[in-house]
Amino acid sequence: MKQIAGKVLLSIIIFSTLFWACEPCDDCGPENTYPYFKLSILNKSSLDTLIVDKARIETEIDSIDDALANPDNSSIQQALNNAKTVKSDSLTLINDLIKDTNSKLISIASINGEKNLFEDKNGSDSLKLFRIPINTNQDESDYAIAIEFVEKEEYLKIKYELFDTIINNKITKSAKSLEIIEHSFDSIRGPFGCTPINECISNQLEIYVEI
């Protein structure tokens, strides 16, 4: 862990220079002349909790409906209707949260200590896809990723091959043969996006993770 922490600290110094030319886009993070890969994140833990909460509230609403159907409860019908309204509003909110979570809409609070890195054209920092810049000074990149409202910080390390190319009429570096070396996510898949993977430039590739 001390070795990883040291590498991450070094990455903070190098990595901060990669975000100076960030431009907002519709559904992802910064796009510039630097190589990057795309990262999508599903908060599976939150999704599982929301699904449990949804089932519980649906059961509670069914119980209220049963009580409303009982003539003996006529004197408390108004209270039961009020309770059902509250539960129904909660269910609507949870359904919306499940929809957003399933769509992988999420916010990255910081990467390697750098904050306010991502936003769309409307100024929202909740995105479905993030363009994560690659360190062009070496053939490996380390990322300490803090996700908003998630206590645990995640770690990702990748390797790649660098080569000269022209992007947006500028001579710069591109990366290919992208591979995942190490990570702390609950689940990870990728890179994917084109074939053969080892011939694809990193900008074409996506990594999908679950927390």
pLDDT score of 2 more than 90: no
Q: How confident is the model at residue 41 (pLDDT cuts 50, 70, 90)?
A: very high
- Give residue limits of the domains in the chain: 1-8+22-211
Closest-CA residue to 143 (of 184, 104, 204): 184
The SS3 assignment for 165 reads strand
pLDDT, tens digit, for every residue of 126-146?
899 999 999 999 999 999 999
pTM (2 d.p.): 0.77
Instruction: Quote the percentage of the chain above a pLDDT of 90.
Output: 71
pLDDT score of 4 more than 50: no
Residue 191: CB atoms within 10 A of its CB come to 22
Alpha-carbon torsion (206, 111, 186, 138), positive or negative: positive
* Averaged pLDDT, 57-65: 98
pLDDT score of 122 more than 80: no
Q: What pLDDT was estimated at residue 29? A: 53
